[in-house]
Structure 1
């Protein structure tokens, strides 16, 4: 099983069940018996299924088929709009959704229409969208009959009658864009629009089991969206993957995706001819061959045996009749979606940062109503939950209230929104002895980011200190004493010298602010190369002891619990990165707390 190594993000489940005994109609040798249903439309009363209007924070990650982030994508949730940044990430806070439904649209020139529908989680809703390029499969002219294929078995037969977006007749050349989505492809969950949630021909809600989707988009001479003339039809053909042929019914309902409302609408049917479904459609959008099923909104909340949330975990649900679907947990360990009613399902939990072995396996259900299900995953051996905390500040060293941090470990990880005071806390599963991870912070309002900074886990809790989202900074030293009673922030007059030939190797970092009569002097004796690691306080009585001291400015530290995390020590002109945190008593017995971050260029 392949685990996609993209920042963690929670995705909705789709529905998993199908009727293997659906044999009410027989396979035909041609399409003469395929019925055509007039275009069904969205019923506003269908929204009664959504529950009450609510507001939720939504974090969207948009990328292409190669996993590269796509910037400048317009993200729309109801009346709220924003754009993805260079990392392909956009955040909408307090977005308008419903208790059981939310709809996120993504659009950018050069890509076909993309979207995601969700069953909102109690915490931040993390959404992943893989946008498909607007690649022309073939061209034709108005008034001409044409068959356009995608080169992989999918096709559309057009009769030559088209209309402009305003409903007037179109004359000219037509570019045809085809994308076939195969349910056997695990990336389908990120590529498909909406989710597998539908309004049937009676106006009732349904979960769906897909046997394949086909996106058909038509472009005119000037790139405008075209569609079929009312009363015209086109024939679509979708190949059926061999792995699902065993439960492919002779006829299957067709559903089109309503791009305005974010749900699938039942309209017509397709017939199985050999290993292909063939059907006639009267307009274009995404078309879907699906078996409808009853479904409930089920939320799983994953924690380890110590109560820590398992964020960024891949959760798979296997139905005995419809195979496996999956989703990712958010920073609270939550993942929600529509699951088939009245079935016993198999649940597995994986981590992108670990092996492909399941960390947890159990049967769950059957479910007959919406509910939240707690899941406790017992981690053993080298597999542990790491908690990462810190603060994100702006160029003025004040808290970022609208931002996020990206925590990356072995190519996997999580995105975590910061709280209004700039604080953040996220968990990530570590299952090797490799302790190194990176953190990058983003200030959304001021369009500023931190540099990617290296850290080492100090199990079970790692405090990375204060991160500065300020692209203009080249180096800085900051610390916070007693929760803000005394702070220090310096971007100039910094000296950082490393002496690798000393025994043991030693490091000194110094900065002083004359205006405030404050500063920092750090001295450390280090381990042999590569020098990085976690250190405690230096014992001056032992010349060979390894550790760090800050007593030059803070005085004698008694009963200190200081931990120093040296994560990078580059060549001259490259960065030295250290974070430190802990408590100590001064000589008078007064307790203090101290946290800080050093990100400086090496001078010697």
Structure 2
């Protein structure tokens, strides 16, 4: 049972946004009542890339990332990517799971036909103590926050059967006043109140809690019972904390908070009863409007940078620009705001006053001038096999553990990266011609720190850029190809770096056919024959592997190049039926 409880007084409000509201029919947020905004569902197609890190800012490899029905894993740099998936303009949600951490949620406003970016810091899961399920009892955290379970009030979450053993309580304190709260908070600091209005929440504290049984089973509070949660209020917030405050639980499908109950203030804490364990918080809400803008420099879009908006009371909201420099989301209504563009060390490199806004507003294009010491600009051109400018393509740029995907227009590209140091790093670039389905034979490499570097002309020729997986199940053939609209094929590797992988995972699916998909994982990352460790194909997503089942890797290229091979063997489905599976594949290594 998971709970992140969040008594949210904002020192902070997050400017990254919401999840799909399918019951709402119009396509723009509309001001509603006196407490907030009704946010309407607007499905779009777009891309999402992101970076998952731990509490020490280290990359989290092998984490499971989900967006709707789409699933992938992070690579050794903590990076993931979804291509051409359905998102919601105002309410897209990403979830992340990794053993040893609480489940992560990120809700954001998505841009159509561009690459959206998120960054999420996972919270380590620490065993705080155990409680006897029959007797009930309490456990406390180092800051005196407390979780109290009722006597004979715990059930197994999967079947609601009464549980009578020892309850393991995993918990962590999350400080809403911390500098990195925008990367940690589940979902965002946005919720839906009792009137179905979208509101911004303000926080007075936060907890992450999960309960497990002796065998690792997830537990829940029994129907008709309540647990008590105590949240210690950070010292800097106690003087402004109200006597009572609404309680909110997170909707684990949408990632949005929903109003449910209330909590009462003690001397330095809030305490309230909850009837189920999800993520919880106690918050004050504010009216909102939707604000969007596009951030560019004179050279082009400023992509994947953090934008900060600060309210007169000091509370701040954050968001990341997409590949076109666009960013948007709910902000406080009728308040003057200070807009800042931040570098990777959260230092302001551009500032401007905006607002107040009484209605939904698009600020249009904002051109910023960045200090040279804070920026690196990479420019160049791309030619095809006829040595002519590529009219429609992209470049994959790897720098400091981050992947940037920049479009090529009329043969030219430009990428501006904000930095907080002037150390020298290695740049790797693979150029792709989307018209001819060709790409560079090997990556262009160079060194860079700040200022501008020009790569000259990079050839997108010599190697097919098409990834494919041809596979069969019981003699029925299927084919996935990146040359086919709606097909997605991805590679993910685990290991110490992008060039030293220790495992290989490959995923492929067709958006229009949910049961046309294949994914497999092996602890091999070189040319050779290795056992298949995991395999899922079509409707057989819970099948077991019949040993031996091997994969033959015939080519294992550098990042940006290709992995090729084949596999054949048998799986056993949940009804104990055997199925023959075979595949050949060619997949770009990212």
Give yes or no for TM over 0.5. yes
Does the aligned pair in 1 maintain the 2:94–2:105 contact within 8 Å?
yes
> Which of the numbers 63, 76, 81 marks the counterpart of 1:86?
76
Assess, with a 3 A threshold, how the Cα gap between structure 1 residues 97 and 136 changes in structure 2: closer, same or farther: same
Assess, with a 3 A threshold, how the Cα gap between structure 1 residues 225 and 453 changes in structure 2: closer, same or farther: farther
| Alignment: residue pair count | 420
> Which of the numbers 353, 359, 362 marks the counterpart of 2:352?
362
Structure 2 residue 408 is matched with structure 1 residue 415: no
TM-score (norm 2): 0.64
Assess, with a 3 A threshold, how the Cα gap between structure 1 residues 430 and 90 changes in structure 2: closer, same or farther: closer
Quote the Cα distance in structure 2 between the aligned partners of 1:450 and 1:246: 60
Does the aligned pair in 1 maintain the 2:116–2:323 contact within 8 Å?
no
Does the aligned pair in 1 maintain the 2:21–2:40 contact within 8 Å?
no
Quote the Cα distance in structure 2 between the aligned partners of 1:68 and 1:450: 29
> Which of the numbers 44, 47, 57 marks the counterpart of 1:57?
47
Q: Which runs of 5+ in 1 are unaligned?
A: 1-11, 17-41, 394-398, 467-479, 489-604
Counterpart mapping for 1:197-276 below 5 A? 197-276=190-269
> Which of the numbers 13, 22, 45 marks the counterpart of 2:23?
45
Assess, with a 3 A threshold, how the Cα gap between structure 1 residues 188 and 287 changes in structure 2: closer, same or farther: same
Quote the Cα distance in structure 1 between the aligned partners of 2:188 and 2:221: 25
Match of 2:180 in 1: 187
SS in 1 for 2:301: coil
Match of 1:472 in 2: none
Structure 2 residue 116 is matched with structure 1 residue 125: yes
Quote the Cα distance in structure 1 between the aligned partners of 2:216 and 2:79: 27
Assess, with a 3 A threshold, how the Cα gap between structure 1 residues 291 and 385 changes in structure 2: closer, same or farther: same
Does the aligned pair in 2 maintain the 1:50–1:99 contact within 8 Å?
no
Deviation of residue 141 (structure 1)?
1.8
Quote the Cα distance in structure 1 between the aligned partners of 2:373 and 2:22: 52
Match of 1:166 in 2: 159
Please say which structure displays the higher CA radius of gyration: 1
> Which of the numbers 113, 118, 141 marks the counterpart of 2:103?
113
Match of 1:154 in 2: 145
Does the aligned pair in 2 maintain the 1:440–1:450 contact within 8 Å?
no
> Which of the numbers 289, 292, 317 marks the counterpart of 1:296?
289
> Which of the numbers 334, 337, 347 marks the counterpart of 2:339?
347
Does the aligned pair in 2 maintain the 1:178–1:217 contact within 8 Å?
yes
Does the aligned pair in 2 maintain the 1:331–1:427 contact within 8 Å?
no
Which structure carries more strand by proportion? 2
Assess, with a 3 A threshold, how the Cα gap between structure 1 residues 44 and 169 changes in structure 2: closer, same or farther: farther
Quote the Cα distance in structure 1 between the aligned partners of 2:129 and 2:395: 43
Does the aligned pair in 2 maintain the 1:392–1:423 contact within 8 Å?
no
Quote the Cα distance in structure 1 between the aligned partners of 2:337 and 2:302: 20
Deviation of residue 294 (structure 1)?
1.5
Match of 2:130 in 1: 139
List per-residue Cα deviations over 1:66-113 (Å, max 9, x = no partner): 111111211111111111111111111122112211011111222211
TM-score (norm 1): 0.62
Structure 2 residue 419 is matched with structure 1 residue 427: no
Does the aligned pair in 2 maintain the 1:414–1:428 contact within 8 Å?
no
CA RMSD of aligned residues (A): 3.7
Match of 1:98 in 2: 88
Deviation of residue 437 (structure 1)?
3.2
Does the aligned pair in 2 maintain the 1:137–1:178 contact within 8 Å?
yes
Deviation of residue 465 (structure 1)?
6.0
Quote the Cα distance in structure 2 between the aligned partners of 1:390 and 1:72: 35
